[in-house]
Amino acid sequence: MAPPLIGRSIRRLRLEQGLTQQALALRLGISPSYLNLIEHDQRPVTASLLIKLGQVLTVDLAALSGTRERQVEAGLREVLSDPLLGLDQVPEAEVATMASSAPQAARAMLALYRAWRVAREDASGLALPSGRRLLLPNEEARDFFHDRANHFAELEQVAETIAGELRAAPAEMNHAVAERLRRTHGVTVSVGRLDGALRRYDPALRRLDLSESLPRESRGFQMAFQLMLLEAREAVEAVAAPAELTSAEARALVRIGLLNYAAAALLMPYAPFLAAARDLRHEVEAVAARFGVSFEQAAHRLSTLQRTDARGVPFFFLRVDPAGNVDKRFSAAGFPFARFGGSCPKWIVHQAFATPGVTRVQVAQLPDGAAFLCFARAIAAPTTHWGEPAPVHVVAMGCDLSRAAEVVYADGLDLARAVVGIGLSCRLCERTECRSRAFPPLEHRLNLDPNEHGASPWRFEPTRRI
């Protein structure tokens, strides 16, 4: 397992709060030299000191896990390995130092790289009446949720208030939401055939039309979304307003995402849902059945249980299509997703497409030693007309292997022997004997020999770098 980067987290938080080493050491009751060693991960942090750090820096202990630093490091390695930048190999130590010593500069570099990719690959999208678009709207919205750990206490509070007024059991929630729409807002709900749409709301007629092709749980979610659109708009605006988003499209995507979050919080209230998740050991199918929601809705909700005083298992969550495009991605577990290009073909996410409706499980280990219990399931969405291919996505989740005992999908697995080595992507992975490799790693020279064919289609010299 990769060691937690507590020292780097402490340094980042200290710098963000404008504290010198001497000032923080004085508050902690230790010497500045000892704090310096801790910040460079050269001394362990005792449990008592860890608690005091949380109090002095005014953060919960999860903020000291090193998750944020590890994600920034992974992003920097990916950026600095791009051959078009023409850089020599940047040592791992330098990447780690940049992420920990200058976190704001590191994040600025990642933002600049994203902007450069947009300029290179989507130049036509830059010429907007309002100016240059530095980020694609979906990327910017995704970063908004990722940076906030996909948890919004304000929306949880609004949802809990409404759920308390409804006083409905999970099996009765759809009816209760429909009744509140009718009685409080004069909105009628109609289910029928819709041409080219699954949901349509007419504000003038106060009518919500839902497609008859939607399953029951999806109809319930769309009604909950409509209710939150009417009752949680102020809370959503309060959450979204401080965000520095660069386009109207990104702002719209964030607001819709927050409304979806609020709808999920209404159908799956935090405390009961967390209790059920623990009771059922995070079996997504069983949790979904208890609350009358879909597999994806329950899985997504599990990734949001990060309330400070009642934290659930930190899961990562993503949704990917057969072409490898990721349209949803959250990483409370600290899994370092590749931001650019494809992911590892050996990852269970891609294998799940072969077995629709079946949950596949894998113990995945990254090259740095970090290991995760991963599970994934392929799901088909309804179509709007005959002949249209059904949209298929894989919903995947995972947690750090240290939490595997809390998850039912680990039952029966020999966690020590079932490990599958994966990488962030072929471009960044240095595993020499991988038969699934699509590309050679960017930082190594190829070692091609016409007299020999190895296990991997790409032979390269591990010790010789470009």
What pLDDT score was predicted for residue 260? 96
What pLDDT score was predicted for residue 92? 74
CB atoms < 10 A from the CB of 186, how many?
Answer: 10
For residue 434, what are the CA distances in angstroms to 92, 322, 345, 347? 22, 22, 10, 12
Pick 314 or 85 by higher pLDDT: 314
Given a contact cutoff of 8 angstroms between Cβ atoms, the answer to whether 78 and 338 are in contact is: yes
For residue 32, what are the CA distances in angstroms to 4, 9, 20, 100? 22, 17, 9, 18
Q: For the chain, which domains are there? A: 6-130 (1.10.260.40), 153-267 (1.10.10.2910), 310-418 (3.30.450), 430-466 (no CATH)
Using 50, 70 and 90 to split pLDDT, how confident is the model at 369?
confident
Distance of CA 416 to the CA centre of its chain: 26
Of the given ranges (74-78, 191-195, 435-439), which has the lowest mean pLDDT? 435-439
Residue 218 CB contacts under 8 Å (≥ 6 apart), including other chains: 198, 294, 382
Token pair for 112:
């600049």
CA-closest candidate to residue 141, choices 223, 225, 60, 260 = 260
Given a contact cutoff of 8 angstroms between Cβ atoms, the answer to whether 238 and 258 are in contact is: no
Give the CA angle between residues 97, 101, 104 to the nearest 5°. Answer: 115
Helices (runs of H) and strands (runs of E) counted in the chain? 17, 13
What pLDDT score was predicted for residue 126? 42
Token pair for 448:
């091609």
pLDDT exceeds 60 at position 402: yes
For the chain, percent of residues with pLDDT exceeding 90? 42
Average pLDDT over residues 115-133: 51
Average pLDDT over residues 357-372: 90
What pLDDT score was predicted for residue 352? 93
Average pLDDT over residues 344-349: 88
Average pLDDT over the chain, rounded to an integer: 83
Distance CA 13, CA 64 (A): 9
Distance CA 65, CA 423 (A): 22
Given a contact cutoff of 8 angstroms between Cβ atoms, the answer to whether 291 and 276 are in contact is: yes
What pLDDT score was predicted for residue 262? 97
Q: 3-class SS at 377?
A: strand
Which range of 137-141, 192-196, 300-304 scores highest in mean pLDDT? It is: 300-304
Pick 73 or 202 by higher pLDDT: 202
Given a contact cutoff of 8 angstroms between Cβ atoms, the answer to whether 151 and 162 are in contact is: no
What pLDDT score was predicted for residue 451? 65
What pLDDT score was predicted for residue 206? 95
pLDDT exceeds 70 at position 462: no
Distance CA 103, CA 114 (A): 17
Average pLDDT over residues 129-136: 52
Distance CA 146, CA 158 (A): 21
What pLDDT score was predicted for residue 157? 96
Of the given ranges (3-12, 53-62, 448-457), which has the lowest mean pLDDT? 448-457
Given a contact cutoff of 8 angstroms between Cβ atoms, the answer to whether 6 and 334 are in contact is: no
Residue with tokens 């809990």: 160
For residue 304, what are the CA distances in angstroms to 155, 156, 262, 373, 376? 12, 10, 11, 18, 18
Token pair for 297:
């809705």
CB atoms < 10 A from the CB of 135, how many?
Answer: 19
Q: 3-class SS at 256?
A: helix
Using 50, 70 and 90 to split pLDDT, how confident is the model at 17?
confident
Would you call 108 exposed, middle or buried from its count of C-beta atoms within 10 A (0-12, 13-18, 19+)? exposed
Give the CA angle between residues 78, 83, 88 to the nearest 5°. Answer: 85
Instruction: Convert the pLDDT of each residue in 46-95 to its tens digit.
Output: 888 888 888 888 876 666 666 666 777 777 877 777 766 666 677 777 88
What pLDDT score was predicted for residue 86? 64
Pick 130 or 397 by higher pLDDT: 397
